[in-house]
Amino acid sequence: MVFRDGRALQLCGEDDWRGRSWLGEKLAAMPESERWEYARLLALQCAANDFELEGRPSFSLDDKSPDPDYFSNFDALLAKVLELVPAKLSELWGKGALLPKTEEGERDNWMIRYRREKMSRHYSLLSRAVEYGHAPFADEGTPYDYRCFDLTRDEGGNAILFVDIHT
């Protein structure tokens, strides 16, 4: 958890078998004055990953391919998401609202449906957050819908909590 004043609270122990303490360790090594903006950017990066920008995998932040330049700047990343995602959604929905069955059976086109429904919901939440001036934080949904939430309802938020939903 990172607070607007730069304080950070490590909620995951160093002995975590999944290695999830990396973020707390990184924040502890960082000057307090840099933590809030770093956490805000990381929250947007988590949200942006779900859009698979330029082929990035949606399931991980530890992809070994180099980040595009815009990925390290909040405003540039947000602008890129708002620029690229509508075309990606158009492509996914352009495959047809009701995808035809093929010989693959019940799970036919499941991943296409899953990706477009998730990205559509995700983009709706992010664009509303932009409209209300608290991007990237949504004010509704669950961690399965989206990655970043405004828990305080204050303008700009006061704390960012990072959660691994698969625990």
User: What average pLDDT does the segment 59-86 reach?
Assistant: 82
Provide the residue ranges of all domains of the chain, joining segments of one domain with +.
Answer: 2-160
Rounded Cα–Cα distance for residues 58 and 145 (Å): 13
Helix (H, G, I), strand (E, B) or coil at 138: strand
Q: Give mean pLDDT, residues 13-37.
A: 83
Q: What is the pLDDT at residue 146? A: 66
| Distance in angstroms (rounded) separating the CA atoms of residues 83 and 98 | 26
Could you say which DSSP state residue 62 is in? -
With a cut of 70, say whether residue 101 has pLDDT above it: no
Of 143 and 60, the structure prediction assigns the larger pLDDT to 143
What mean pLDDT do residues 72-84 have?
93
Structure tokens at 10: 């490590």
Q: pLDDT at position 35, please?
A: 92
Q: What integer pLDDT is reported at residue 61 of this predicted model? A: 55
Q: What angle do CA 85, 52, 35 make, to 5 degrees?
A: 95
pLDDT recorded at residue 167: 43
Q: Which residue has the higher pLDDT, 21 or 51?
A: 51
Q: Distances in Å between the alpha carbon of 70 and those of 104, 131, 135, 160, 164?
A: 39, 21, 16, 22, 25
What is the reported pTM? 0.79
Contact yes or no for 119/93 (Cβ under 8 A): no
DSSP 8-state code for residue 154: S
Name which residue leads in pLDDT, 75 or 160. 75
What tokens appear for 143 in the block? Answer: 């961690």
Distance (Å, whole) CA 2 – CA 164: 15
Q: How confident is the model at residue 140 (pLDDT cuts 50, 70, 90)?
A: confident
3-state SS assignment for residue 159 = strand
Residue environment code for 16-47, b if the CB has 16+ CB neighbours within 10 A, otherwise e = eeeeebebbeebeeeeeeebbebbbbbbbbeb
Say if residue 150's pLDDT is above 80: no
